[in-house]
Chain A
């Protein structure tokens, strides 16, 4: 497992280096992974890397790329739009010469086209936002402030909003809230992996049986 960088297109032209965690031995089968988003990305990162270790062991190269504005990225999150993330995932797939792609949870909204794609426990953007808005309302209430979902959403589409520490721009919010995972992907439901999804854990966790199961599904699809 090594850190790598790749050229990610900037909206105004040019490119910035973004980070990726890679297992790259120049092998034939190459899987790009679009990580889960926001809070869920932290909770699922270790699980994701555990799946990558198993893929590596089975002879599959894999690449976990940061979306601009996320994880180690130096780009401001609030300046990202949804098209920037789609472009980023496409550029990462091209740079790493991916032959397959896997989206995890919210990452399924940004998996590149033109490759065989799996979606693990895909989620609609509206569901992600609903939970983040609820967390903000709960935190405000605890601090003695009343906020309503309607008012927050109205503000968000005009001037952007900070949810769970993530500063989302107005354009992003408007475009993101309508997004749903594309149906062309092969969906891997949590039931196929067993146990309960680690994204719902209050603290980041890991589960080797689930990592084994998800890796096995991918390996069977890539290198039967």
Chain B
């Protein structure tokens, strides 16, 4: 499950950020996202979360979204994995 979530998350980030194939493979737990990538504004983050919901088959409540979870790839992955386990 965890490997699967990791790969899906990289693919979603590739789609949203328009990355070249393989570019997201270089992301590690500390890679900065929201607040680090200028193209990842609130509209793009909203799109990213919608894609997460659709492709990971989870529901993200607005009050679950905080700066910490969006700040790094590791934070977002931990959130997505916890959501999938709980679902």
Q: Which residues of A contact B (CB under 8 A)?
A: 39, 127, 130-132, 134-139, 141-142, 148-149, 164, 196-197, 200-203, 205
- Asked if B65 CB lies within 8 Å of chain A CBs, one says yes
Q: With A131-B50, A148-B62, A200-B51 known to touch, is A138 a contact of B15 (CB < 8 Å)?
A: no
Can you name the residue of chain B whose Cβ is closest to the Cβ of A196? Answer: B15
CA distance A136 to B65 in the complex (A): 13
**Which B residues are CB-close (under 8 A) to A197?**
15
Contact present for B62 and A134 (CB under 8 Å): yes
Given A137-B62, A148-B62, A149-B62: A202 in contact with B41 (beta carbons within 8 A): yes
| Structural contact, B44 and A202, CB atoms closer than 8 A | yes
A to B CB contacts below 8 Å, 14 in the list? A39-B43, A127-B50, A130-B50, A131-B46, A131-B50, A132-B46, A135-B43, A135-B45, A138-B45, A138-B65, A201-B18, A202-B40, A203-B18, A205-B18
Looking at the assembled complex, report how far the CB atom of B75 sits from the nearest CB atom of chain A, in whole angstroms.
15
Q: Given contacts A139-B42, A203-B39, could you give 18 more A-B pairs where the C-beta distance is less than 8 Å? A: A130-B50, A131-B47, A134-B46, A135-B45, A135-B46, A136-B42, A137-B62, A138-B42, A141-B65, A196-B14, A196-B15, A200-B16, A200-B50, A201-B15, A201-B17, A201-B18, A202-B16, A202-B17
When the two chains form their complex, are residues A202 and B62 in contact, meaning their CB atoms are under 8 A apart? Answer: no
What residues of chain B lie closer than 8 Å to A203, measured between beta carbons? Answer: 18, 39
Top 5 A-B pairs ranked by shortest CB distance?
A202-B44, A135-B46, A196-B15, A139-B42, A134-B46
Residue among B15, B41, B44, B46 with the highest chain A CB neighbour number at 10 A: B46
Let me know if B42 and A202 touch, CB within 8 A.
no
A201 to B65 Cα, complex, angstroms:
20
Cα separation A39 to B46 with both chains bound (whole Å): 12
Total CB contacts across the A-B interface at under 8 A:
53
Q: Point out the residues of chain A lying under 8 angstroms from B78, CB to CB.
A: none
Interface of B is mostly: helix
Residue in chain A with minimal CB distance to B17: A202
- Chain B: how many interface residues by the 8 Å CB criterion? 19
Q: B3-30: contact bitstring with A at CB < 8 Å (1 yes, 0 no)?
A: 0000000000011111000000000000
Minimum CB–CB distance for B62 against chain A, Å: 5
Residues of B within 8 A of A196 (CB): 14-15
B38 CB, nearest partner CB in chain A, Å = 9
Q: Which residue of B lies closest to A199 (CB)?
A: B47
Q: A200-B15, A201-B16 are in contact. Are A138 and B51 (CB under 8 A)?
A: no
